[in-house]
Structure formats: structure tokens, C-alpha cells
Amino acid sequence: MDETVNSRILGLGHHLPERVVTNHDLTELMDTSEEWIEQRTGIRERRFIRGETSGAELGERAARQALRSAGIAAEDLDLIILGSLSPDVDFPGTASFLQRNLGVRGMPVIDVRNQCSGFVYMLAVADQWIRTGGARHVLVVGAEIHSTGIDLSTLGREVAVIFGDGAGAAVLGPEPDPRRGILSTHLHSEGRYAEKLIVEVPSSRVRPRITEDMLDQTGWRGATSSSTPSRAFPRSYGRRSRTTATPPPTWTS
Amino acid sequence: MTHRHHADEGHGPSDLAREAALPALTGAGLEPADVDLIVFATMTPDVAFPGSGCYLQDKLGCRTVGALDVRAQCAGFLFALATADRFVRGGAAGCVLVACAEVHSTALDYSPSAAAVTPYFGDGAGAVVLGAARTPGVLAAVLHSDPDGLERFWCEFPASRHYPARMDREAYRAGRHYYRLDAAAVHPQARAALAGVTHEVLDCAGVAADRVALFLVHYLDARVACAAAEAAHLPRERVVATAERAGHIAAAGIPIALADALAAGRVGKGDLVCCAAFGAGMSWGGVLLRL
């Protein structure tokens, strides 16, 4: 076997739920306009699940496609990494459910929770495992079901309009050619801005973590008072997160 | 176990991890500014998102280095350690801080119906600092997951897959946001896996059990951990069941036990330490370390 120098993406896959939610659809749920959403986010439509669907199910569809395009059987995976900020259950991680859906066992699975940069973090992790010979074939899956955890009322309009559901997957393997594959990885974090874009609840630093007060009949209480958004839904503060966490309109036009 | 610790009100895993990370860095002769990568393992994050690693980066005053947050439940430390080892081995990071912390106490059911689950869990943090060395310190790492029966040990809610809302009053009233453990099914699985993986990691490193100075066996029930050590024919006087000290602290249990053993002079530089862990997922593993 040639000496492994890099890791390379051998196959890709993705899956989006069928239900398309346009900006116009959102105007029926909240006080906003199609123009406002598109101007502020560059987004025209997103997908939401319809009925009970798990991140592991979306991830499985994406993963099977990636495995097929890589020509790798799920049994031949040495490591499965799943990134999500909307896990299927509290614990264990969604990767365990994905492993079951793929019908395999034995290889380690791990969840990475690095939010929107999760895929880049996962690629870096997979790359290190492969280039040091610790794993040969690694499945990396990003899977999100945001729609069950966003405030689709007017109070949540600044943030809820950004998020959609879906999954993407990549299968990585060793690459002997130093000019191909993952050439370099760089990871960063800056926790002083951690609460600029946040879902606070449930929080292990709050005792007890979940109370009945946080809930109404249909889910997380939309607001603790008429003017205070719920801490269980994503919130963003100030211009920083709006300008850095969402692409400018020109990206999609 | 006789007692466990509960975090102060308002303290999250990143607060506990800071207290563990600072002495770990000092012990390594390093400062927060020397850290090239943080790997944070927890199953009880400070907030739903972002991850606790981001908070720790700020609380320690590290540079804007990567803060990788991983979830592998009770085996989190071994999964994080093996991943950190890959970053050091490949030269991607000179110094990796592996921080593990749990605040279980805010999630537990304190009603009589949870009397068989809640007493197991404690809060706490442990940290190790990894750096490049001429001779390897992580001699072998063996990691496994098997999702069969994973609902026997899990916490279902909040659940993003629950439509239309990931948490609701019905789930709350049914207590589906509390930890559930089917001990009768999971204990035997843990015992077999822990015994098996201990020998697997020793075989992988080509090291005989009698050369190992300390076996850290990590499972929420210390009696099951001891039974696993017995099944693996490990010398009783060199086995520590991590949950004995202060309950089951999931990702943090092994680094806490390791720090205890070092502080007590039970192990020292050059000694071999074999760690095995089993937990939800089901995920388990073994790592053989040379200190």
C-alpha cells in the first residue's frame, strides 16, 4: 500500500426533507416580509421535516449516498462522526442512532458539537485519524432538525428564518498524492462571543434544567413575558452574529 | 460509593473544567496561551449550544484555538483522548488540552421512582494535557460502539426528532427528560465489554497485564466495574473502580481517578495505566497509557 499522506473525500451525499418552506410561508406564521428575510439573510426557501423524522434518518439517506459514491460498504467504516446542534435525543449522541440505521456495529461513533462549523471540525478530526493511520475509512455526517426547536412566532423572527433541516455526508479515505485531498486544516473558537448566538435551555448550570414553567401545551414556551424571547429558542444579539453567521445576499443571487 | 459532589448553582461544566485545567497546565509547565487545541468531552453541556469548549477557551484565556466538543457519553474521555492523540501524533497540535466535565445533578429525577438511577451520578471535572514526546504516552487505544439496545440507557428529551416541538408538557409530565437505565440488561453488557476491551487494548500494545501498575475501570456501578476486573483476571490491588470515589461522573471519571492516583503516589512517571470505560450509546473503549 502506498504511504498515506493526506486524507481525501471519496464520496459525498445529501438529503433534504421534501417540505419546502418559502419566505412567503413564513409570513403566514410571523409578522415579517419576504423582502426583509431575503435582504437580511439571502435565504429564499428552506426545508422542514413533516411529522416525526430524526436526524439519524436524514443522515442515513445522506450517508448511504456518500458510501455508494465512494464505493465503500458501511461495514468497512472504521469511524463514524456525526455533527449536529440539534441532536435526536438528549443522550446518547445522534451518531449511535445513525450507526443503528446503517445496520453496523463495532466501530466507534462519536458526536461532534461545534455548531455551524461542525463539518469543518469533523473533517479535521477525520483527517487526523486517517493521516496518522488510526482509521482508513471515516464517515462524516452533518444532520440537523432545527424546525422543532425554533420560535416560528413573530418573537423569533430574527433567527428562526435562517434555519432549515437537512443532512450532508462525506466518506474520507487515505490519499497517497500529497497534492490531493485535505491539504490543511485550521480550527478556531472565541468563547467571549459564545452568547451572541445561543440556545440557552436546557442548561446544565440551571437547577433544575427543565421546569414545567418553560413549557406550554405545544412545546417550549414562546415567551416568558410578552417582550422576553424564550431561552429555549435560538437568539442572536447585536449586529455581529447577523453579519458573521449568515451569508450576505449576494451569495445566493 | 458513599457520596457524590454537586456543582454550585449557576456553575456549568466549563466552570468545573477550568478548575481542573489550570492545575493540569501548571503540572505540565504550561500556560493557557500554550494550548493549541481544546477537546472538551461532556454529556451535560453548559447550554444547548454553543459547546462547553468555547466557554472554556474564554474562561482560561486561551488563544482563539479550536475548541472541539465531543459526545461519547461515559466513554467520552477515552474518545477525546484518542482523538487528541491523533492531533499530536500528526503534528497538527503541539499541546492539546483534553477537558472533561459533567454537571449531572441539575438533570436528575429526585423522586422515589428514580432511586435506582439518580444515586449513581455525580458532578466533577478532570483534565489532561497532551504534548509531543519522543516515546509515545498513548500506547494503544481501542474504541467501540454498538447501538443495539441503546434505549436501555438514555435520556430522550429534548428530542429534535419529536414533532412538532422537541420538548412538550406531555413528555415533561411523563418524565421523559430524565435519565433511564435498565440496569438488569446493561450491567451484564458492561461487565463483558469492560473485561473484553481491557485485554484487547493490552494485546494491541503487546503488553502483559502484570506489567500494568494501575487499571482504571469506569462504569456507573462500581460493583459491576469490580466484577469486570475479576472476570478479566486483573490483580485486585491494582484496580480502581472510578465510581467509588464520588459517583459516576461520565466523561470526567477517568481523569479524576488518574489525578487521584498520581497525587497519592500510587503511580508515577514511566508507569503503565490501563483505562477501560463503558457507557451509553453503547460506547466503550480501552486506552493504555505510559505516564
For B81-105, how does the pLDDT look when each residue is reduced to its tens digit (9 = 90+)?
A: 999 999 999 999 999 999 999 999 9
Residues in chain B: 291
CATH architecture entry for A6-175 = 3-Layer(aba) Sandwich (3.40)
Q: Quick one: cell of A59?
A: 443522515
Q: Is the ipTM of this complex over 0.95?
A: yes
Q: Are residues B173 and B279 in the same domain?
A: yes
Mutation site, B18, B71, B179, B278, interface A, largest A CB count within 10 A: B71
Between CA A96 and CA B155 the distance in angstroms is: 13
A244 in contact with B, Cβ within 8 Å: no
Residue of chain B nearest A213, judged by CA positions: B169
Amino acid at A46: R
Residue of chain A nearest B279, judged by CA positions: A92
Using a CB-CB distance cutoff of 8 angstroms, which residues of chain B are in contact with residue A189? 38, 53-54, 57, 64-67
Which residue, chain included where needed, has cell 485531498? A181
Residue where one domain finishes, among candidates B88, B108, B135:
B135
More reliable by pLDDT, A199 or B140:
B140
pLDDT, residue A251, reads 32
Would you say residue B214 has pLDDT above 60? yes
Under DSSP, is residue A38 helix (H, G, I), strand (E, B) or coil?
Answer: helix
* A218:B162 CB<8 A: no
Q: Quick one: cell of A190?
A: 472565541
Work out the end-to-end distance of chain B between its first and last CA atoms, rounded to an integer number of angstroms.
Answer: 27
- What order of strands is seen across the sheet that includes strand A79-83? A6-15, A166-175, A138-144, A79-83, A109-112, B66-71, B37-41, B95-102, B124-131
Q: Are residues B55 and B194 in the same domain?
A: no
Between CA A6 and CA A130 the distance in angstroms is: 8
Q: Are residues B109 and B242 in the same domain?
A: no
* Number of domains, chain B: 2
B183-205 and B222-231 are packed helices; what angle lies between their axes, rounded to 10 degrees? 50
CB half-sphere exposure, A56, CA atoms < 13 A: 23
* A205:B73 CB<8 A: no
Question: A39 and A248 in contact (C-beta within 8 Å)?
Answer: no
Alpha carbon of A251: minimum distance to chain B alpha carbons (Å) = 25
Residue where one domain finishes, among candidates B135, B157, B174:
B135
Alpha carbon of A83: minimum distance to chain B alpha carbons (Å) = 9
Q: Are residues B125 and B167 in the same domain?
A: no
A209 in contact with B, Cβ within 8 Å: yes
Question: B148 and A105 in contact (C-beta within 8 Å)?
Answer: yes
Question: B38 and B57 in contact (C-beta within 8 Å)?
Answer: yes
Residues B264-283 as b/e (b if ≥16 CB within 10 A, e otherwise) read: eeebeeebbbbbbbbbbbbb
Q: Are residues B98 and B149 in the same domain?
A: no
C-alpha distances (whole Å) from B161 to each of A61, A250, B148, B205 are 15, 33, 19, 41
Cα angle: A117, vertex A232, B169; to 5 degrees:
135
Q: Looking at the partner chain, which of A129, A202, A214 has a beta carbon nearest the beta carbon of B86?
A: A129
- Global pTM reads 0.95
pLDDT, residue B29, reads 96
Q: Chains A and B: how many Cβ contacts under 8 Å?
A: 275
> Which residues of chain B from 65 to 124 reach within 8 Å of chain A, CB to CB?
65-73, 79, 82-83, 86-87, 89-90, 92, 102-107
* A218:B283 CB<8 A: no
* B147:A85 CB<8 A: no
Q: Quick one: cell of A55?
A: 436526524
B163 in contact with A, Cβ within 8 Å: yes
Mean pLDDT by 10 residues, chain A (253 residues): 81 98 95 93 96 96 98 98 97 98 98 97 98 97 96 89 97 96 96 91 92 86 71 75 41 30
Quick one: which of B141, B25, B14, B37 has its CA closest to B79?
A: B141
Q: Are residues B161 and B74 in the same domain?
A: no
Using a CB-CB distance cutoff of 8 angstroms, which residues of chain A are in contact with residue B90? 128, 131-132
Q: Are residues B114 and B25 in the same domain?
A: yes
User: What digits encode the pLDDT tens for the residues B254-265?
Assistant: 999 999 999 999
Between CA B75 and CA B198 the distance in angstroms is: 14
Residue B250 falls within a domain, yes or no?
Answer: yes
Residue where one domain finishes, among candidates B135, B159, B175:
B135
> Which residues of chain A from 9 to 48 reach within 8 Å of chain B, CB to CB?
none
Q: Are residues B158 and B118 in the same domain?
A: no
